Amino acid sequence: MVEKIIVGKGWKDLKKYGPRGTAYIGKHIVGKGEESHLTNPIHMDVTRPHVVLVCGKRGTGKSYTAGVVAEEIYRLPKDIRKNICVLMIDTMGIYWSMKLPNERDADLLKEWGVKPEGIKTNLFVPKGYFDEYKKAGITVDFPFTVSVSELTSEDWAITFGFSMIDEYGILIEQVMERLEEREGNYSIEDIIGEIEKDERSGKKVKEALINRFLAAKEWGIFEKKGTKTEDLLKSGTISILDVSHYMRVSESWSIRAMVVGLLSRKIFKERLAARKVEEYGKVTGQARKTIPMIWIMIDEAHQFIPEKGSTAASGPLLTLVKEGREPGISMLMITQQPNKLRGDALSQADLIISHRLTSKADIEALRSIMQTYMLEDIQDYLNELPKTKGSAIVLDDNLERIYEIQVRPRFSWHAGGSPIILKERSLLEGMET
């Protein structure tokens, strides 16, 4: 039997648990060029908290790789899977198709010892676009909403492009403080009404803010009562939050960042509380149900945690990256531009899966965090990869190893990739029983 290569798992855990709780992500590439071939299966630890960076230029398989990791968490034995959940922040609208089997690659999957299979996911879409998805024939599970009163004045100021110390930011803060004291739970209509009543601000400032809050109302996501965090983070489930519709909106990344920032704050707070309950249960033997450990997978991560400037998500996400391991939060960040990702987020990654990169700036970004155990320059490793889609290098900071791998094919359908004018086999062909 071919020995498994396990990455991301420390020596003590390897000795104690072996390959349990690992994800089969691909096979080891041995040799160079035409002489290269696939050998040992490579498994990645998913039971301990990790910060994983998945990078590569456009079309090399970054989002596909994240889907493979999600599939593998779905395939964990029930006694392990019940302690974990996945939240995928889908900025491109490509993960809804995981519910469907990858019949297109049935022959390839057979070579890898895998069968086509759709997986059960919970697809959340903003409430304002819920019916649009249904009309398109896509199975959506739940509408997603954000409670207005849970957002901070800074969230709104950053989203609207204001400073907290200019007249617009000051008015937002004053209005929200008054509503918080008087109402507790309020709506966008309440904010607009409070702005209209303000007597200290000029007409121009008030009209500018009212117009922006009216626009925010049209985003179809803000309500008095928001989606509960525990609905997104149920034990053993994969939840997909599709925010791709905001690509049409001029403030698209600001809206997404606001949502991601709020979720990140809530998840960190609730997992901190859950960790205390779990530790208390170990001591007393009185176990109580909490939200499970979490894998957050976020596409286009450099848009949320940029190297220059900040978004409404920057601070909360950096907290998860730097401090999330203790409460049991794993982060998988996907980017095609690692040089655009905040340096202190890059440096926290203990596992890096890098597909092909050609930009000098992106290679320099990875080189800046390369470790002493790398015998060659990172560009040499990347240049030696086969030209096949899905080939990558894995840097394991836990075991201080580096491997060339071919990521395995997905057994659920992948809706990403570039379109083609030639007729392709229908997604639903062969699915009738």
Q: What is the pLDDT of residues 355-384, one digit of tens each?
A: 999 889 998 888 887 765 665 788 888 888
Given a cut of 80, whether residue 117 has pLDDT beyond it is: yes
Residue 194, in any domain of the structure: yes
260 and 295, same domain (yes or no): yes
Domain boundary (353, 380, 411) is at 353
198 and 176, same domain (yes or no): yes
- Give the CATH number for residue 79: 3.40.50.300
113 and 136, same domain (yes or no): yes
CB 298 within 8 Å of CB 70: no
Average pLDDT over residues 109-115: 91
Residue 400, in any domain of the structure: no
342 and 280, same domain (yes or no): yes
pTM for this one? 0.89
pLDDT of residue 386: 86
215 and 277, same domain (yes or no): no
Domain boundary (333, 353, 373) is at 353
Q: Alpha-carbon distance 3 to 39, whole Å?
A: 9
Average pLDDT over residues 393-415: 91
Could you give the number of structural domains in the chain?
3
* 353: β partners: 54, 394
Q: Which domain holds residue 103?
A: 49-140+228-353
Q: Alpha-carbon distance 415 to 64, whole Å?
A: 9
Residue 295, in any domain of the structure: yes
Domain boundary (327, 353, 379) is at 353
104 and 201, same domain (yes or no): no
pLDDT of residue 135: 87
What letter represents residue 115's amino acid? Answer: K
Q: What is the pLDDT of residues 58-104, one digit of tens each?
A: 888 999 999 999 999 999 999 999 999 999 999 999 999 999 999 99
276 and 136, same domain (yes or no): yes
195 and 113, same domain (yes or no): no
Residue 402, in any domain of the structure: no
pLDDT of residue 400: 83
* 27: β partners: 41, 406
246 and 186, same domain (yes or no): no
Given a cut of 50, whether residue 213 has pLDDT beyond it is: yes
238 and 328, same domain (yes or no): yes
Sequence-distant (≥ 6) Cβ neighbours of residue 23 within 8 angstroms = 43, 44, 45, 46, 68, 69, 72, 73
182 and 241, same domain (yes or no): no
CB 266 within 8 Å of CB 274: no
* 241: β partners: 89, 124
Q: How many CB atoms lie within 10 A of CB 281?
A: 14
